Chains A and B, each alone.
Chain A
Amino acid sequence: MNSLPRWMGALDRKLVRELWRMKIQALAIAFVIAGGVAVHLLAAGMLSSLQETRRTYYERYLFADIWAPTVRAPQHLIADIRRIEGVQAATTRIRVPALFAMEGMSAPATGEVLSLPDVGEAAVNRLHLVRGRLPAPGQRSEAVALQAFADAHGLEIGDTVPATLYGGRRRLTVVGIALSPEHVYAIGPGQFVPDDRLFGVLWMRRGALAQAVNQDEAFNEAVVRLSRDASEPAVIAELDRLLEPYGAPGAYGRADQISDAFVSSEIDQLATMGRVLPPIFLLVAAFLVNVVVSRLIAVQRAGIGLLKAFGYRDRDIIGHYLKLVAAIAATGVLIGGTAGIWLGRSMAELYMEYYRFPFLLFQADPADYATVVGVAMLTVMGGAALAVRRAAALNPAEAMTPAPPPDYSRTAGAWITRIKVLDQQSRMILRQIVRWPLRAALTVAGIAASGALLIGTMSMMDGIEVMIDSSFNVSNPHDVSVSFIEPRSRGALFSLAREDGVLASEPFRVVPVRLRHGAREERVAITGAPQDGTLSRMVDRHNRPVWPHPGGLILSSDLAAKLQVRAGDLVEAQVTEGRRPLLSLPVASVTTSYIGSQARMELQDLNRALGEGSQISGVWLTVDADRTEALYARLKETPQIAGVGLQAEAAKKLAAMLDENLGRSILIFVFFASLIASGVVYNTVRISFAERQRELASLRVLGFSRADVSYILLGEVAFLTLLALPLGAAAGTGLAWYLAHAMSSDLFRLPFAIAPATFGVAGAVVVLITVVASLMVRAQIDRLDMAEALKTGE
């Protein structure tokens, strides 16, 4: 630091050397700023990257706006569909559920096979070929496989996949591996997280698939892209009118397309996180830095007085100190910016594991950079400017004399003197706090805010655990759910129940309906389950099972809210399959459901209402985990099975993803919250030390030990930390409550839950940080030079 460039002015040299001397303190402040900046850039950048990637991908690969499934409709209807006003492009296709008997895996993989036009590429929902080619026209056994599925099974070009399509078994040869905008987030029935081994998608040429599933000159799904100003509801209504005679359950838009719904939910959550946490981080950081900087400058009053005595103008002096804090703030912004982008890049990679985009570049919007830099610099400089102005307003003679002893008599003196049990040091601590209540309050607020951020972010994990436990262990304790291609008689249940390894079984019936209440309508499925069944049931928030009254319906609270119904109301249910009866059903009760929307009835009531006799759509099973081979083998061979959901696998996968994905975000938040806490504590103690250096040195001269002196200094921050802990817990609880509400989406609702351990860990982290930061200053107390401290003015 001795060899600075010659052109540098003396004041700037002072600046550089002082920054160097207070580098630890400056870094501590910079880290607080960096915390706010990094979290903001990360969240905002991830959000804009994901939005931009999705927009480009959908645009480039002609992602559909509307899906219109039917049972079997004549191909010539395509001309009518294309004529609907607002339809920009439309195509028809065949889409069938499939089971894949993959090598080296006993469990059956579920999935679907979709048709490509006989020649060329699709006009809607185009594939992104990663390698290989599309099936050759006329080739009956060639297929393109979804990349995730291919990777999970090590499928290469030329490998074959044994597939069961509507009971017919055939071997398909993989000729290409592709990504699809419809399968960004590819999940099977009963899954919430992609399990690439268990869910597969294949594409065949139309002619080949039509022949395999008996759909010649027909289609079972139309996909539509809308023109710019088209009305989605109007086009859907028109499609429904056109396709209803062909068994259409009703067309739906992107909001109900499972992959896009998950991507949207993720984007919404990122937006929420980005809206809530980073501003808190940035504001807390700005606020603390503001306080710290103003105290830092208050300590410099003698130096400011001296510069004024030399004839430096106020604006020179303000400029000088602004440069000092600007350097600190810029360091913080730089560290935070680098960390934010680096974290964003690794986060983007992680996203690519679950969200299969052909590309996902982490790219923060320049506006986001401008925001963080602006907010960070403004708040820091604002705080500094106020403090310097205050110091510069002093007349120089006064500023240069040591500040007069602060008057402790009025506010604090009397009553503390009367507390006889206190020793003198504790009295000093108490008076210091009572004399500057605002300063003490700000320190408490800073530490409490860090604690609250820790609790708030960690509580999301707690909520997820409650959600997983309630949804999987309590509500759906079955291991396997088997769904049939078409409703079948109960006999199907008995044949599966007798299989080796099956411990218990219960049947269920699912019918797609449109629930209506007044002008409100929702597309859902009503699940009929046996009364007093144990393998799948709805529960209340205390995990107690909820059963419908005879003939009544139970709705999950989100669905009830959307339909604006309460227990006791009547809803209209338009069944959209089979004979399509119109039912009027009483809502028996409304209860919580953390995952998805649910509507349930008693199985026999549902069958009675449908008037179709004792039909079931599938079976829930619990199995002996060691004896699943025979059952799985049987499932793979049974022709009437459309899909097999492995509940236990799904739960495991969900927990793993949340651990990895959300867990990592939370770790990042925890890290930055800790950084803020350490910045606050270190600076509080360090500045107290600077302010009271003479006093402390005098005490040492009087014969007080280092421990005595440390107690006076560190006792204050220890006391304030103790005050901050319950406040932080209260604020953290509030933040957790808010986050639970804000993070809930159509797909799942995050319960508000804070485990006792969360409070414990947050408290421990805050205490640990206080101790470590205090020890760092303690080392400086030990080096306190008594004679020097008493002699020098500065």
Chain B
Amino acid sequence: MMCASDPSERPGLCFRARAVTRIYNSGAATVHALRGVDLDLPDGELVVVLGASGSGKSTFLNILGGLDTPTSGEVLFRGVDISRADQRQLTEYRRRHVGFVFQFYNLMASLTARENVALVTEIAEAPLTPEAALAMVGLENRLDHFPAQLSGGEQQRVAIARAVAKQPSVLLCDEPTGALDSATGVRVLEALKTVNDSLGATTLLITHNAAIAAIADRVVIFADGRVREVRKNADKRLPGEISW
């Protein structure tokens, strides 16, 4: 169902979210993580999502990625509703369309760089080879290294290679540079930019770091479970031109 989507229906629109809420009931406390989010994201853009801790940006990203479903509201991916999809359909959606990059890399310690990427390419439909994906992030010489033998920046680039190897429609990155120093972070952003340019995947990049907004096509700012501001970036920079 998810795959039968017809892009021509809403040309150019990747995600369309309307009145999305997400409420967590953990024990006695009820947490309103999202309080009604409306957002349209066109295909192929590099979007930076800013916001304080607890503003709801990670929850929203998880819902876009099919890791979680909203309590109410509607999320369309290329015209298809993913907010009402069941677990099996969400798995299928993630498998075909979504690549994830996490703050703490979440590599399998027991697999080499190449094998970590292969973990994803083995179940993808038209993947890049692990070698090509790793070359794209500049790690063609570190194919057979285990995570423990790689620096933090290198590990994150393996994670990016792993996310892009399936040639996803959407690349979701939650604080990809959060654990890295500025210079290493820039290398990671360059890798993300390369991927965004060459694959045309809609890329969402969550960060605390306002400086990174400079590389985005579009900047979304979350506050208190809502979208406070969306702005197009007129003066788009290259990752090499920023630092923090």
Residue interface bits B194-220, CB-to-A below 8 A is 1, else 0: 000000000000000000000000000
Which segment, of B35-43, B94-102, B229-237, faces chain A? B94-102
The answer, yes or no, to whether B120 is at the interface (CB within 8 Å) is yes
The answer, yes or no, to whether A407 is at the interface (CB within 8 Å) is yes
Which segment, of B4-12, B77-85, B108-116, B134-142, faces chain A? B108-116
The answer, yes or no, to whether B243 is at the interface (CB within 8 Å) is no
Interface residue from B111, B112, B123, B179 paired with A310 (Cβ < 8 Å) = B123
Q: In the complex, A792 Cα to B109 Cα: how many Å? A: 10
> Which residues of the partner chain A approach B69 to less than 8 Å between Cβ atoms?
395
Interface residue from B26, B95, B118 paired with A311 (Cβ < 8 Å) = B95
Are B122 and A10 neighbours in the complex by a CB distance under 8 Å? yes
The answer, yes or no, to whether B184 is at the interface (CB within 8 Å) is no
Interface residue from A18, A306, A316 paired with B106 (Cβ < 8 Å) = A306
Are B108 and A14 neighbours in the complex by a CB distance under 8 Å? yes
CB distance from B67 to the nearest CB of A (A): 4
Q: Which residue of B lies closest to A8 (CB)?
A: B115
Interface centre among B67, B100, B111 (most CB of A within 10 A): B67
Residue interface bits A300-313, CB-to-B below 8 A is 1, else 0: 00110011111111
CB distance from A618 to the nearest CB of B (A): 78
Are B118 and A21 neighbours in the complex by a CB distance under 8 Å? no
The answer, yes or no, to whether A154 is at the interface (CB within 8 Å) is no
> Which residues of the partner chain B approach A732 to less than 8 Å between Cβ atoms?
none
> Which residues of the partner chain B approach A307 to less than 8 Å between Cβ atoms?
119
The answer, yes or no, to whether A396 is at the interface (CB within 8 Å) is yes
Q: In the complex, A343 Cα to B167 Cα: how many Å? A: 58
> Which residues of the partner chain B approach A793 to less than 8 Å between Cβ atoms?
102, 104, 106
Are A794 and B106 neighbours in the complex by a CB distance under 8 Å? yes
Are A11 and B119 neighbours in the complex by a CB distance under 8 Å? yes
Number of A-B contacts (CB under 8 A): 81
Are B106 and A397 neighbours in the complex by a CB distance under 8 Å? no
> Which residues of the partner chain A approach B68 to less than 8 Å between Cβ atoms?
395, 397-398
CB distance from A328 to the nearest CB of B (A): 16
The answer, yes or no, to whether A692 is at the interface (CB within 8 Å) is no
Are B91 and A313 neighbours in the complex by a CB distance under 8 Å? yes
Q: Given A17-B110, A395-B67, are A308 and B91 neighbors across the interface (CB < 8 Å)?
A: yes
Q: In the complex, A314 Cα to B110 Cα: how many Å? A: 21
The answer, yes or no, to whether A5 is at the interface (CB within 8 Å) is no
Residue interface bits A1-27, CB-to-B below 8 A is 1, else 0: 010000001110110011001000000
Q: Given A311-B123, A395-B68, A407-B27, are A13 and B98 neighbors across the interface (CB < 8 Å)?
A: no
Q: Which residue of B lies closest to A407 (CB)?
A: B27
CB distance from A6 to the nearest CB of B (A): 11
Q: Which residue of A lies closest to B62 (CB)?
A: A397
CB under 8 Å from chain A, chain B span 56-79: 62, 65, 67-69
The answer, yes or no, to whether A400 is at the interface (CB within 8 Å) is yes
Interface residue from A306, A311, A400 paired with B98 (Cβ < 8 Å) = A311
> Which residues of the partner chain B approach A420 to less than 8 Å between Cβ atoms?
none
Q: Which residue of A lies closest to B119 (CB)?
A: A10
The answer, yes or no, to whether B92 is at the interface (CB within 8 Å) is yes
Interface residue from A311, A404, A792 paired with B104 (Cβ < 8 Å) = A792
> Which residues of the partner chain B approach A418 to less than 8 Å between Cβ atoms?
none
Are B27 and A10 neighbours in the complex by a CB distance under 8 Å? no
The answer, yes or no, to whether A783 is at the interface (CB within 8 Å) is no
Q: In the complex, A515 Cα to B94 Cα: how many Å? A: 85
Are A310 and B120 neighbours in the complex by a CB distance under 8 Å? yes
The answer, yes or no, to whether A228 is at the interface (CB within 8 Å) is no
Are A791 and B104 neighbours in the complex by a CB distance under 8 Å? yes
Are B119 and A310 neighbours in the complex by a CB distance under 8 Å? yes
CB distance from A112 to the nearest CB of B (A): 72
Q: In the complex, A794 Cα to B109 Cα: how many Å? A: 9
Are A312 and B123 neighbours in the complex by a CB distance under 8 Å? yes
CB under 8 Å from chain B, chain A span 282-322: 302-303, 306-314, 316
Q: Given A306-B106, A400-B102, are A14 and B95 neighbors across the interface (CB < 8 Å)?
A: no
Are A310 and B94 neighbours in the complex by a CB distance under 8 Å? yes
Q: In the complex, A2 Cα to B113 Cα: how many Å? A: 12
Q: Given A309-B100, A397-B67, A407-B27, are A21 and B110 neighbors across the interface (CB < 8 Å)?
A: yes
Q: Given A11-B119, A14-B119, are A309 and B104 neighbors across the interface (CB < 8 Å)?
A: no
Are B26 and A404 neighbours in the complex by a CB distance under 8 Å? yes
Are B91 and A311 neighbours in the complex by a CB distance under 8 Å? yes
> Which residues of the partner chain A approach B96 to less than 8 Å between Cβ atoms?
311
CB under 8 Å from chain B, chain A span 386-429: 395-398, 400, 404, 407
> Which residues of the partner chain B approach A308 to less than 8 Å between Cβ atoms?
67, 91, 94
Are A18 and B94 neighbours in the complex by a CB distance under 8 Å? no
Interface centre among A11, A18, A395, A396 (most CB of B within 10 A): A396
> Which residues of the partner chain A approach B93 to less than 8 Å between Cβ atoms?
311
CB distance from A98 to the nearest CB of B (A): 76
> Which residues of the partner chain A approach B87 to less than 8 Å between Cβ atoms?
314
Q: Which residue of B lies closest to A792 (CB)?
A: B104
> Which residues of the partner chain A approach B104 to less than 8 Å between Cβ atoms?
791-793
Q: In the complex, A510 Cα to B17 Cα: how many Å? A: 104
Are A309 and B65 neighbours in the complex by a CB distance under 8 Å? yes
Known: A316-B123, A397-B67, A794-B106. 20 other contacts (CB 8 A): A10-B115, A10-B118, A10-B122, A13-B110, A13-B111, A17-B111, A306-B108, A309-B94, A310-B120, A310-B123, A311-B94, A311-B96, A311-B120, A313-B88, A313-B91, A396-B67, A400-B67, A400-B106, A791-B179, A792-B104
17 CB-based A-B contacts, threshold 8 Å:
A10-B118, A14-B110, A14-B115, A302-B106, A303-B108, A306-B108, A308-B67, A308-B91, A308-B94, A309-B65, A309-B100, A311-B120, A314-B87, A314-B91, A400-B102, A407-B27, A794-B106
